[in-house]
Amino acid sequence: MSTDPKPAARRADKILAEEFFLARSKILDLAATLDRLERGQGSVDELQQRLLLQQGMEILLDDQSDKARRVQLLMSRPYDPDWRKNYGLH
Amino acid sequence: MDYIDPHIHMVSRTTDDYETLARMGCIAMSEPAFWAGFDRGSVESFRDYFRQLTEFEPKRAAQFGIQHYTWLCINAKEAENVSLSREVIAMIPEFLSASNVLGIGEIGLNKNTKNESTIFLEHVDLAVRYGQQILIHTPHLEDKYQGTKMIVDMLVHDTRVDRSRVLVDHVEEHTIQEVLDQGFWAGMTLYPVTKCTPARAADMIERFGPERLMANSAGDWGPSKPTAIPDLIMELKRRGHSRQLIRKIVCENPCEFFSQSKNFKAPSALS
Ligand SMILES: [Zn+2]
């Protein structure tokens, strides 16, 4: 049994300085995608995928933590604990 | 830095890739049986594939000083064909004594169907009856959460399964906690688009610690990067993590997990 602790956390201001340009470019990509959707013919406003993107962006902006896991769960099919019974498996 | 890739599909890779991996520090790898990019038509196709995995690939790897191990099964995509799956499962024991076989894998779910679940359970039974370790494929994208929960449910339900001998691969932020909490090993698959980036893998190492956690490249037919583990090593170094921590993830953990199979010989660089 190893007793390795979790690695120590880095300073937040250092992370921000290192990752600012990468995050900036990802926001721009997302912004350009939304512009492209708007310029496209027809509307996607009511489509499920568009709604998922909207809800995902709302997770990014809310004041709660654990954002990556919450975005993942948003984009996931739900789990039914009774799945075995539904499939007739024992 | 020397490293082990615990999940890489070398049948889809060129000999040049073996050379590149060796130059980047890869000393051992394990190759689970998987989909060939198309559905195979008969059990004989699988017999030839298993010969490729147990005879040809180890020789190709050895030319570059890399140890090649493998896992056998019919993958979840093709498990939808139950009768073919049963023929393959019945044939697998012929290959279990080959010197590079570590166990049964990568078994799992793809679209989380009843047939896939049935064949998953039959593979688990095969592994238990033959005392084999298990390597698990969890589904991708919107199917991952549901499928991982179903897989964990099936494994926990079978009290014969030794969880410390099971590796659950392709974990992400929403599935890693449960896999580790239930006592399984977890693998993060580094993939350019649909799975996990080196940065997010480094985040999970920081959040969950290095115990029972490893990383792999998958290196399959899809857009994947066989040198993804060196990318993760660089990301961890860039963040200032210790050599000891990095080595645990990319070398010692795979080694400790694989050592539970009698066919695994720890690379001399590690002993
Ligand atoms: Zn795979």
> Which residue among B174, B240, B241 places its CB closest to the CB of A73?
B174
> pLDDT tier at A4 (50, 70, 90 boundaries)?
low
Q: Is A50 a member of any domain?
A: yes
Alpha-carbon B154 to chain mean position? 19
- pLDDT tens digits along B124-155: 999 999 999 999 999 999 999 999 999 999 99
The per-residue b/e assignment along A66-90, b for 16 or more CB within 10 angstroms, e otherwise, is: eebbbbbeebbeeeeeebbeeeeee
Cβ contact A77–B241 (<8 Å): no
Chain B residues inside the 8 Å CB shell of A77? 112, 142-143, 145-146
User: Of the candidates B81, B72, B212, B181, which has an alpha carbon nearest to the alpha carbon of residue B135?
Assistant: B72
* Total beta-carbon pairs less than 8 A apart between chain A and chain B: 66
What is the rounded average pLDDT of the residues B22-46? 96
Distance from CA of A40 to the nearest CA of B (A): 24
Cβ contact B209–A6 (<8 Å): yes
Look-up: residue for tokens 């073996």? B18
User: Of the candidates B147, B187, B151, which has an alpha carbon nearest to the alpha carbon of residue B167?
Assistant: B187
A76 touches chain B (CB under 8 A): yes
Q: Is A88 a member of any domain?
A: no
Q: How many angstroms is it from A34 CA to the middle of ligand 1?
A: 33
- pLDDT tens digits along A12-65: 999 999 999 999 999 999 999 999 999 999 999 999 999 999 999 999 999 999
Q: Is A72 a member of any domain?
A: yes
> Which residue among A4, A77, A87 places its CB closest to the CB of B145?
A77
Residue B237 vs residues B198, B208, B233, B234, B246: alpha-carbon distances, Å: 12, 18, 6, 5, 8
Residue A5 has pLDDT above 60, yes or no: no
Residue numbers of the domain that contains A53: 14-78
Residue A40 vs residues A32, A51, A84, B34: alpha-carbon distances, Å: 12, 17, 44, 39
Q: Is A87 a member of any domain?
A: no
Distance from CA of B54 to the nearest CA of A (A): 33
Secondary structure class of A32 (helix, strand, coil) = helix
Q: Is A89 a member of any domain?
A: no
The crossing angle, in degrees rounded to 10, of helices B144-157 and A67-74 is: 90
Q: How many angstroms is it from B240 CA to the middle of ligand 1?
A: 30
Q: Is A2 a member of any domain?
A: no
**How far is it, in rounded angstroms, from Cα B127 to Cα B203?**
33
Instruction: Please check whether residue B63 is in contact with residue B19, taking contact to mean a CB–CB distance below 8 angstroms.
Output: no
Q: Is A58 a member of any domain?
A: yes
A21 touches chain B (CB under 8 A): no
Going along chain B from its start, the domains and CATH numbers come out as 3-258 (3.20.20.140)
Q: How many angstroms is it from A21 CA to the middle of ligand 1?
A: 33
Q: Is A26 a member of any domain?
A: yes
> pLDDT tier at A1 (50, 70, 90 boundaries)?
very low
| Structure confidence at residue B220 (pLDDT) | 85
**How far is it, in rounded angstroms, from Cα B240 to Cα B258?**
28
- pLDDT tens digits along B35-76: 988 999 999 999 999 999 999 999 999 999 999 999 999 999
Instruction: Please check whether residue B167 is in contact with residue B198, taking contact to mean a CB–CB distance below 8 angstroms.
Output: no
Alpha-carbon B119 to chain mean position? 18
Mapping DSSP onto H, E and C, the string for B179-223 reads HHHCCCEEEEEECCCCCECHHHHHHHHHHHCCCCEEEECECCCCC
Cβ contact B239–A10 (<8 Å): yes
Q: How many CB atoms lie within 10 A of CB A55?
A: 13
Residue B105 has pLDDT above 70, yes or no: yes
Domain count of chain A?
1
What is the rounded average pLDDT of the residues B84-100? 98
DSSP annotation string for B106-164:
EEE-SS--HHHHHHHHHHHHHHHHTT-EEEEEPP-GGGHHHHHHHHHHHHHH-TT--GG
Cβ contact B173–A6 (<8 Å): no
Cβ contact A7–B172 (<8 Å): no
Pseudo-torsion of CA A10, A11, A14, A15, nearest 10°?
A: 60
> Which residue among B173, B200, B211 places its CB closest to the CB of A4?
B211
Instruction: Please check whether residue A78 is in contact with residue A86, taking contact to mean a CB–CB distance below 8 angstroms.
Output: no
